[in-house]
């Protein structure tokens, strides 16, 4: 059961959580206090505390050296006229909206190909999964920069056909595209999740469908995809949340600047520049909260839309 | 020839096409990695003129050159990263298993609320927290130490692993705990002597994921570690781009390869746990 399924269960029934007798409860409270102590300290000290602090800082001017100075809505007013913020939002939204569905489509397609007891499954799965473990590393970002450089692998390959490719990472029109390709390259993780989901679909359903004369295509659209939709939803939500926060790859291919011409200025990279480059901690906190609100809204929208296309078989 | 033959033959052809397609996709996926390894073994002059994997002249100098190209030998950064990883793994194993035991087996006040809070933190972006955390750690004098990277792990802030372990514990029959309880065992003993040994697969998954994510983590290490002798591998690799102004590509490739070897080894030997880990959390 996924974390998202867990939310659904909680909203449906709370009974599972309150079944213990009173006597037992008093004894468990003490034990729970012990076992949960590290987590509670972490939650309050490292998560909730800083969240509240950053909400306050969002309304201040703060450079780390002097005490934060309360400036009311100045940071929000500034956001409205901040061209680089608008640019970073545009870059991030473009990246998220293109790369997440594309990655999931590739992951799903390969999971479907690999599903039917194919020979060599474990080898294929391993090879396809490997990039998703490496993709977040600086080393791969460095590699990408050189693969798509003016004198890179891609252009060396194109030269074989007499084509002179552009400097993919140094051209504002294509730089973001190279990051989308990198994201798609790491499709292995969602693919493995899809494979696990496909395995849960009972074989008998396909047999029954085939007996009823349903074509392969019909089986895919009327059987496989609806039964898989909770997992598609799970991958979609996690993919969106994750890629809104992308940082490393854009930082490395642009030397931390988000260039060329701010074409790879991911939101989190802009936040980093404001906070740790210019030490505008107040404004950066306001940006962080904007990111949280955007991600929250997107996730909520997703949950709302899921009513119309996610099929729960229970 | 009967009717059955063409269909089996057609099926066989379809299967061959499928395998050929899959092999092409696999090669495409691996190509950049293989090209990186090949490039780390070629003279610099050959790197960008060869898109193939065949190496005309071997050049083994990139590895020693890259190793000593930065302010400190690369072994320093590897050791630093291992230190951070080790601390993170131990922290996550202890704190997350404790919290998971409480969530899966104990009845306590506000449990439902606490559980939801835990689930929500899985999806919380680090960026919202990083600035006040930085201010806080700065006041404690923790900047340029590994404490900001390791201490949170001992406080179960990687809630994803709590969730993973809760799922696992739910699959362990309750009769085991109850039998131990009748024998007079307290929760600490049930946790330590019954749960932990049974949880080994979940602990292994946690250790492996923590290893890889910490090894690859760039954002927090970039922010909290700014002294060159404390650089971890990702931060050191980044300074490679700045320092070399991209002249010695071979050395850069060589150290990139070196930095990926630990992840690759963990993948090779821990694959079973990795695949099971992501498969169980992703299931509905």
Residues B34 and B165 in one domain: no
pLDDT at position B189: 93
Asked if B209 and B227 count as a contact pair (C-beta separation under 8 A), the reply is no
Residues B56 and B69 in one domain: no
pLDDT-based confidence at A8, cuts 50/70/90? low
Backbone phi, psi, residue B171, to 5°: -85, -10
Give the closest of A32, A192, A234 to B108, CB-based.
Answer: A32
How far is B227 from chain A, CA to nearest CA, in Å?
15
Does the distance separating the beta carbons of A271 and B32 come in below 8 Å? no
Does the distance separating the beta carbons of A124 and B279 come in below 8 Å? no
Q: What is the mean pLDDT of residues A198-209?
A: 89
The reported pTM is 0.91
Residues B156 and B113 in one domain: yes
pLDDT at position A70: 94
Instruction: Kindly identify which residue of chain A lies nearest to residue B152, measuring between CA atoms.
Output: A42
Share of chain B above pLDDT 90, in %: 63
Has residue A254 been placed in a domain?
yes
User: Residue holding tokens 């906070």?
Assistant: A275
Q: Which residues contact B117 (CB under 8 A, 6 or more apart)?
A: A43
- pLDDT of A290 higher than 60: yes
How far is A270 from chain B, CA to nearest CA, in Å?
11
Does the distance separating the beta carbons of B125 and A291 come in below 8 Å? yes
More confident residue, A7 or A239: A239
More confident residue, B130 or A152: B130
Please list every residue in chain B whose beta carbon sits closer than 8 Å to the beta carbon of residue A181. Answer: none
Asked if A129 and A189 count as a contact pair (C-beta separation under 8 A), the reply is yes
User: Residue holding tokens 């991209």?
Assistant: B246
Expressed as residue numbers, the domain containing B37 is 4-62
- pLDDT of A230 higher than 80: yes
More confident residue, A22 or B139: B139
pLDDT at position A152: 82
A192 touches chain B (CB under 8 A): yes
Give the closest of B107, B116, B263 to A25, CB-based.
Answer: B107
pLDDT-based confidence at B283, cuts 50/70/90? very low
How far is B272 from chain A, CA to nearest CA, in Å?
10
Does the distance separating the beta carbons of B240 and A31 come in below 8 Å? no
Q: Which residues contact A1 (CB under 8 A, 6 or more apart)?
A: A9, B167, B283, B284
C-alpha dist (Å) from residue A62 to A49, A66, A274, B58, B141: 18, 7, 11, 54, 19
C-alpha dist (Å) from residue A288 to A75, A168, B130, B249, B252: 12, 30, 9, 36, 33
Please list every residue in chain A whose beta carbon sits closer than 8 Å to the beta carbon of residue B216. Answer: 134, 136-138
pLDDT-based confidence at A180, cuts 50/70/90? very high
Has residue A8 been placed in a domain?
no
Does the distance separating the beta carbons of B282 and A235 come in below 8 Å? yes
pLDDT at position A7: 67
Residues B157 and B220 in one domain: yes
Three-state helix/strand/coil letters over chain B: CCCHHHHHHHHHHHHHHHHHHHHHHHHHHHHHHHHHHHHCCCCHHHHCCCCCCCCCCCCCCHHHHHHCCCCCCHHHHHHHHHHHHHHHHHHHHHHHHHHHHHHHHCCCCCHHHHHHHHHHHHCCCCHHHHHHHHHHHHHHCCCCCCHHHHHHHHCCCCHHHHHHHHHHHHCCCHHHHHHHHHCCCCHHHHHHHHHHHHCHHHHHHHHHHHHHHHHHCCHHHHHHCCCHHHCCHHHHHHHHHHHHCCCCHHHHHHHHHHHHHHHHHHHHHHHHHHHHHHHHHHCC
Residues B169 and B37 in one domain: no
pLDDT at position B130: 93
Give the closest of A124, A144, A197 to B282, CB-based.
Answer: A197
Please list every residue in chain B whose beta carbon sits closer than 8 Å to the beta carbon of residue A14. Answer: 112
Q: Is A280 helix (H, G, I), strand (E, B) or coil?
A: coil
Does the distance separating the beta carbons of B26 and A10 come in below 8 Å? no
Has residue A131 been placed in a domain?
yes
User: Residue holding tokens 């080393």?
Assistant: A139
- pLDDT of A219 higher than 50: yes
Cα B206 from Cα B100, distance rounded (Å): 12
Please identify, among B35, B62, B89, the residue that sits at the C-terminal boundary of a domain: B62
The count of CB pairs under 8 A between chains A and B is: 297
Please list every residue in chain B whose beta carbon sits closer than 8 Å to the beta carbon of residue A53. Answer: 132, 135-136
- pLDDT of B29 higher than 70: yes
User: Residue holding tokens 């406080």?
Assistant: B155
- pLDDT of A32 higher than 90: yes
Which tens digit of pLDDT belongs to each residue from B203-250? 999 999 999 999 999 999 999 999 999 999 999 999 887 765 556 788
Number of domains in chain A: 1
Backbone phi, psi, residue B48, to 5°: -95, 5
* Degrees to nearest 5, angle at CA A235 with A233 and A238: 105
Has residue A48 been placed in a domain?
no
pLDDT-based confidence at B44, cuts 50/70/90? confident
Instruction: Kindly identify which residue of chain A lies nearest to residue B170, measuring between CA atoms.
Output: A1
Does the distance separating the beta carbons of B107 and A295 come in below 8 Å? no
Q: Which of A295, A293, A299 is nearest to A58 (CA)?
A: A293
Does the distance separating the beta carbons of A28 and B107 come in below 8 Å? yes
- Residue B16 CB burial class (10 angstroms; 0-12, 13-18, ≥19): exposed
Number of domains in chain B: 2
How far is B242 from chain A, CA to nearest CA, in Å?
8
Name all contacts of A102-105 with Cβ < 8 Å and 24+ positions apart: A102/A180, A102/A183, A102/A184, A103/A183, A103/A184, A103/A186, A103/A187, A103/A190, A103/A239, A104/A187, A104/A190, A104/A232, A104/A235, A104/A236, A104/A239
Give Cα B124 to chain centroid, integer Å: 19
Instruction: Kindly identify which residue of chain A lies nearest to residue B116, measuring between CA atoms.
Output: A7
Q: Is A33 helix (H, G, I), strand (E, B) or coil?
A: helix
Does the distance separating the beta carbons of A126 and B271 come in below 8 Å? yes
How far is A66 from chain B, CA to nearest CA, in Å?
12
Helix (H) / strand (E) containing A61: strand A60-61
Q: What is the mean pLDDT of residues A54-76?
A: 93
One-character DSSP codes across A113-181: HHHTT-TTHHHHHHHHHHHHHHTTSHHHHHHHHHHTSTTSHHHHHHHTTT-----TTTSTTTHHHHHHH
Does the distance separating the beta carbons of A138 and B234 come in below 8 Å? yes
pLDDT-based confidence at B280, cuts 50/70/90? low
* Secondary-structure breakdown of chain A: helix, strand, coil percentages, each rounded to the nearest 5: 70, 0, 25
pLDDT at position B284: 35
Q: How many residues does chain A have?
A: 314
Instruction: Kindly identify which residue of chain A lies nearest to residue B253, measuring between CA atoms.
Output: A143
Cα A108 from Cα A104, distance rounded (Å): 6
pLDDT at position A138: 95
- pLDDT of A27 higher than 80: no
Cα A136 from Cα A248, distance rounded (Å): 7
How far is A173 from chain B, CA to nearest CA, in Å?
22
Cα B116 from Cα A302, distance rounded (Å): 19
Q: DSSP label at A201?
A: S
Does the distance separating the beta carbons of A35 and B99 come in below 8 Å? yes
Has residue A24 been placed in a domain?
no
| Residue environment code for B89-121, b if the CB has 16+ CB neighbours within 10 A, otherwise e | bebbbebbbbbbbbbbbbbbeebeebbebbbeb
Has residue A122 been placed in a domain?
yes
Residues B39 and B132 in one domain: no
User: Residue holding tokens 């480059």?
Assistant: A277
Share of chain A above pLDDT 70, in %: 91
pLDDT at position A156: 83
- pLDDT of A24 higher than 70: no
Q: What is the mean pLDDT of residues B77-86?
A: 97
Residues B127 and B233 in one domain: yes
Expressed as residue numbers, the domain containing A160 is 58-309
Does the distance separating the beta carbons of A5 and B284 come in below 8 Å? yes
What does DSSP say about strands A69-70 and A60-61: parallel, antiparallel, or unpaired?
A: antiparallel
By mean pLDDT, which of A3-7, B20-24, B174-178 is the weakest?
A: A3-7
Instruction: Give the number of other CB atoms < 10 A from CB of residue B168.
Output: 24
- pLDDT of B2 higher than 60: no
pLDDT at position A99: 97
Which tens digit of pLDDT belongs to each residue from B156-180? 999 999 999 998 999 899 998 889 9
Task: Name the average pLDDT for chain B.
Answer: 89
How far is B275 from chain A, CA to nearest CA, in Å?
7
Residues B183 and B73 in one domain: yes
Residues B132 and B76 in one domain: yes
Residues B21 and B70 in one domain: no
pLDDT-based confidence at A21, cuts 50/70/90? very low
Residues B25 and B78 in one domain: no
Has residue A281 been placed in a domain?
yes
More confident residue, B123 or A75: A75
Residues B39 and B163 in one domain: no
Six-digit token pair at A255?
Answer: 């030397």
Residues of A (120-179) whose Cβ lies below 8 Å from B: 120, 124-131, 133-134, 136-140, 142-147, 149, 151-153, 156-157, 159-160
Backbone phi, psi, residue A60, to 5°: -130, 170
Give the closest of A20, A50, A292 to B107, CB-based.
Answer: A20
How far is A262 from chain B, CA to nearest CA, in Å?
19
More confident residue, B55 or A237: A237
CATH number at residue B255: 1.10.3720.10
- pLDDT of A277 higher than 90: yes
Has residue A21 been placed in a domain?
no
Residues of A (207-266) whose Cβ lies below 8 Å from B: 230-231, 234-235, 241, 244-245, 247-248, 251-252, 255
Does the distance separating the beta carbons of A275 and B135 come in below 8 Å? no
Interface probe with A: pick from B17, B115, B125, most Cβ of A within 10 Å: B125
Which tens digit of pLDDT belongs to each residue from B9-19? 888 888 899 99
Cα A127 from Cα B38, distance rounded (Å): 18
CATH number at residue A103: 1.10.3720.10
Asked if A262 and A242 count as a contact pair (C-beta separation under 8 A), the reply is no
Cα B190 from Cα B193, distance rounded (Å): 6
Cα B199 from Cα A7, distance rounded (Å): 24
pLDDT at position A26: 55
Q: Which of B248, B249, B240, B245 is nearest to B70 (CA)?
A: B240
User: Residue holding tokens 């697969």?
Assistant: B201
């Amino acid at each position: 059961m996924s974390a998202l399924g867990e939310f659904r269960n909680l909203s449906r029934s709370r009974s599972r959580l309150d079944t213990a007798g009173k006597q037992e409860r008093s004894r468990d409270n003490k034990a729970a206090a012990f076992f949960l102590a590290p987590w509670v300290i972490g939650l309050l000290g490292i998560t909730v505390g800083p969240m509240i602090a950053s909400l306050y800082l969002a309304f201040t001017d703060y450079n780390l050296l002097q005490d934060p100075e309360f400036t009311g809505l100045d940071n929000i007013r500034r956001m409205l006229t901040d061209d680089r913020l608008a640019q970073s939002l545009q870059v991030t939204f473009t990246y998220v909206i293109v790369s997440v569905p594309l990655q999931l489509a590739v992951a799903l397609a390969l999971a479907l190909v690999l599903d039917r007891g194919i020979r060599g499954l474990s080898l294929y799965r391993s090879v396809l999964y490997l990039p998703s473990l490496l993709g977040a590393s600086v080393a791969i970002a460095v590699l990408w920069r050189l693969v798509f450089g003016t004198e890179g692998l891609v252009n060396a390959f194109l030269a074989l056909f007499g084509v002179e490719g552009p400097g993919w990472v140094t051209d504002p029109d294509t730089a973001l595209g190279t990051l989308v390709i990198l994201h798609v390259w790491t499709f292995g993780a969602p693919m493995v999740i899809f494979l696990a989901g496909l395995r849960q679909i009972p074989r008998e359903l396909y047999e029954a469908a085939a007996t009823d004369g349903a074509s392969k295509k019909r089986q895919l659209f009327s059987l496989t995809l609806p039964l898989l939709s909770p997992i598609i939803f799970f991958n979609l939500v996690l993919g969106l949340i994750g890629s809104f926060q992308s940082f490393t790859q854009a930082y490395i291919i642009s030397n931390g600047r988000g260039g060329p011409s701010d074409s790879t200025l991911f939101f989190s990279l802009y936040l980093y520049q404001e906070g740790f480059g210019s030490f505008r901690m107040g404004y950066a906190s306001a940006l962080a909260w904007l990111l949280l609100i955007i991600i929250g809204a997107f996730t909520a929208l997703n949950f709302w839309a899921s009513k119309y296309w996610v099929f729960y078989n229970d | 020839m009967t009717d059955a033959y063409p269909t089996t033959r057609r099926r066989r052809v379809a299967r061959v096409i499928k395998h050929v397609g899959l092999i092409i996709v696999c090669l495409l996926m691996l190509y950049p990695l293989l090209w990186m390894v090949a490039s780390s073994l070629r003279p610099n002059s050959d790197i960008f003129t060869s898109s193939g994997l065949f190496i005309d002249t071997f050049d083994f100098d990139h590895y020693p050159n890259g190793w000593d190209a930065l302010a400190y030998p690369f072994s320093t950064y590897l050791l630093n990263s291992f230190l951070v990883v080790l601390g993170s793994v131990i922290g996550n194993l202890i704190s997350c298993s404790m919290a998971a035991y409480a969530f899966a087996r104990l009845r306590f006040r506000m449990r439902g609320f606490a559980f939801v809070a835990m689930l929500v933190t899985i999806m919380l972006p680090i960026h919202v927290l990083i600035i006040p955390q930085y201010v806080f750690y700065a006041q404690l004098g923790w900047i340029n130490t590994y404490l900001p990277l390791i201490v949170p792990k001992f406080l179960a802030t990687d809630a994803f692993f709590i969730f993973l372990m809760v799922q696992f514990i739910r699959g362990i029959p309750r009769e085991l705990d109850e039998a131990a309880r009748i024998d007079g065992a307290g929760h600490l003993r049930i946790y330590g002597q019954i749960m932990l040994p049974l949880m080994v697969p979940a602990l292994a998954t946690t250790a492996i994921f923590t290893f890889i994510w910490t090894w690859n983590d760039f954002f927090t290490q970039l922010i909290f570690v700014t002294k060159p002798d404390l650089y971890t591998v990702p931060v050191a690799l980044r300074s490679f781009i700045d320092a070399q102004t991209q002249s010695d590509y071979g050395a850069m490739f060589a150290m990139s390869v070196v930095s990926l070897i630990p992840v690759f080894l963990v993948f090779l030997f821990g694959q079973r746990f990795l695949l099971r880990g992501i498969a169980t959390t992703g299931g509905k």
